[in-house]
Amino acid sequence: MPTECRTTAKEHADTVDLFAGPGGLDVAARWLGRKVYGLEWDADACRTREAAGFNFERHDVRHFGPEDFPAATMLTGGPPCQTFTVAGSGAGRRALDTVLKFIIAMAAGESVQEDLAQLDDERTGLVLEPLRWALRAAELGRPYRTIVLEQVPAVLPVWKAMAEVLCDRVQYRVSTDVLHTEMYGVPQTRRRAVLIASLDGPRAMPQPTHQIYRKSGLRSADNQRLLPCKTMADALPHRPAHFEVISNYGTGGNPKVRGIREASQPSATITGKVSRNKVKVSGKTDRFDDWEAGRLQSFPTDYPWSGGAVAQQIGNAVPPLFGLHVLSAALGCQVTGEQADEVFKLKWADVQGEKGVPAVLAELRERVQCADNTDATVTLDRVDQEAAYRPVR
């Protein structure tokens, strides 16, 4: 296996990715030159991780903690969304008030593990794992310098509640917002609730590089100077110039009215049921191949999807290009639209180090490294001189 793609050992990881899936945020971290270790339980996703050169042993995040990753300075994660998403059972939304109470209890140093076991769906409680890790790291005296979390928009109240705890207990500077992935070069409309926490000063959300998608066209208040949003035709140039995709899901609240997108538009949100979407070309019906669905999530064309339930793996993944913007912003840098477009063109093999680091990645890594070195001094000064965190008792 090429040097660049050898799996990172736990003790050497500078980034820990909780609920890592097949590697969405891991790909973004690798693009930025981070040594990432992902924790993932799904066996199929782990097979894809192995083929891509990431660590692939199955892990339950509840059985690990910061003490297992002594060199990590960044914590990332996208907990399971099935109970929070509109398309899911709604258990997370019904339990939202309970989850928020758990956050208050955790901030007070109480254990909520037994209570979490009583939830209707155990996946709902997993959304609290990043907070457990963050508070435990602070208790150990080495809080993560950077935390990045993403989830469906319904989880934004949870992120806001966590932000209050992280600000109060560990004195992080925290930003939360709901972002549109097509505004960051992803050829797909997808809204994600994002949390960025930093001990290195305030960190703004990534600046949009591409226009927002609106079915009726841009509004006067929209920034029309940004690059046009990427379309399915841009992402899949091997297909005929004109095709349409009929979604498996209904639109406008009517399950019988299927959403339709043209090739000249970005894809609708890619879900685990993407293999059921119909692609109509010249009167004939087709389906997306796995790599095409992955491409609409902004994965490289040669990303080695493996194992079973590949459509589910793809639908559950974080779009890597979106992750690149968010991780860069969390580390004090902004990705330009031109850089995003260049990264989007890269093959996964280009990142394996056999022919050197692509120029656009070398540039991004240098900027992130410069910001990281500068902020390291600030963080150490604040922790040592101003008690930037308070241990949880």
Which residues are designated catalytic? 81
Q: Tokens in use for 197? A: 């926490």
Phi, psi of 350 (to 5 degrees): -65, -20
CA geometry: angle 255, 298, 151, nearest 5 deg: 60
> How far apart are alpha carbons 291 and 302 in whole angstroms?
7
Residue 371, CA atoms < 13 Å, CB-side half-sphere? 22
Asked if 14 and 35 count as a contact pair (C-beta separation under 8 A), the reply is yes
> How far apart are alpha carbons 152 and 127 in whole angstroms?
11
> How far apart are alpha carbons 169 and 392 in whole angstroms?
7
**Cβ within 8 Å of residue 119, ≥6 positions away:** 91, 95, 98, 125
